[in-house]
Amino acid sequence: MIYRYIIYEKRNQTGWLFLNRSKEMNALCKAMLNEITDVLDSAEKDDDIRALVLTGKGKAFCAGADLKEALAEIGLKKGSAEPDFMETASITINRLRRLSKPLIGALNGLTLAGGLEIAMCCDILIAAESAKIGDGHSNFGLFPGGGSASILPRRIGLNRAKYLLLTGEVVPASEMLAYGLVNRVVPDAQLEQTVEALAEKMADKSPLGLKLMKQMALQAMDLQEEAALDLEHLKLKNYMMSYDIVEGLRAFQEKRKPEFKGF
């Protein structure tokens, strides 16, 4: 598939997905959202891809929805079977959240509203020092639909989330590091190099093991502690029958690097 609004590259065992509407601050349009979903489906099936990086071209990671396109659809659907902007955005965001492979967000610049919502779908967030992050829906009388009001409080705490939601303020990446939303903040010139090294480190590990750990961490958020521990034990019992755990133990005994296959 030829993409118009994104760029997709394979670097060794990492897929790099660049949002590529730099003149529009990488604002999300329906076509871009569909292209993102297409890449996610492709990367999910590609055994050569062990991790995926989501980042932006230009000065923004993503400034949110393309309001001109989104608002133009209000009240105009009239029974059409084709998903409108909000439905398309929901499909893409849910697809990002459900990706079984590690997803790293490289926040290269402004991350706002819908951009924050897709960033929160990532497992790990690395931000450039110049990046600014916030919600911003309230600045235009809008209401979030992709996680700012429901997921952000779980990430940074209720009081901090309410402050950002109600004021619409945008804060430096360093502040979001202190809040716990961002894992690391690095100099702008080192962002891509840092993320590439992190992705390569993950590529050396068992794809199946990482998939199960990611699943377990997400599922545990909605379970009582005892139920979460029971589920973790069950996943371990299943994982004990895999090729990868045997290969990992053999490599440890033989003092060599394991060669995982993901099953």
- The pLDDT of residue 130: 97
- The pLDDT of residue 1: 74
218: in domain? yes
Same domain, residue pair 31 and 120: yes
Distance CA 39, CA 52 (A): 10
- The pLDDT of residue 244: 95
The domain spanning residue 173 has which CATH number? 3.90.226.10
215: in domain? yes
Same domain, residue pair 239 and 156: no
- What is the domain count for the chain? 2
Same domain, residue pair 158 and 242: no
262: in domain? no
260: in domain? no
Same domain, residue pair 217 and 180: no
Signed CA dihedral, 210, 212, 213, 218: sign only: positive
Instruction: Please list the residues that pair with 186 across neighbouring strands.
Output: 128
Same domain, residue pair 181 and 228: no
- The pLDDT of residue 77: 54
Q: Identify the CA nearest to 94 among candidates 41, 21, 16, 24.
A: 41
Same domain, residue pair 177 and 225: no
Structure tokens given for 260: 């995982």
Same domain, residue pair 215 and 149: no
Domain that holds residue 225: 207-254
- The pLDDT of residue 85: 86
Divide the 263 residues of the chain into consecutive groups of 10 and give the mean pLDDT of each group.
93 96 94 96 95 96 88 61 84 95 97 96 97 94 91 95 96 96 97 96 95 94 94 95 95 94 93
Same domain, residue pair 195 and 232: no
Signed CA dihedral, 214, 219, 222, 224: sign only: negative
Among 203, 221, 242, residue at a domain's last position: 203
DSSP-assigned states of every residue in the chain: ---SSEEEEEETTEEEEEE--GGGTT-B-HHHHHHHHHHHHHHHH-TT--EEEEEESTTEEE--B-HHHHHHTTTT-TT-SS--HHHHHHHHHHHHHH-SS-EEEEE-SEEETHHHHHHTTSSEEEEETT-EEE--GGGGT----SSTTTTHHHHH-HHHHHHHHHH--EEEHHHHHHHTS-SEEE-GGGHHHHHHHHHHHHHTS-HHHHHHHHHHHHHHTTS-HHHHHHHHHHHHHHHTTSHHHHHHHHHHHHTS-------
- The pLDDT of residue 82: 73
62: in domain? yes
Distance CA 182, CA 155 (A): 10
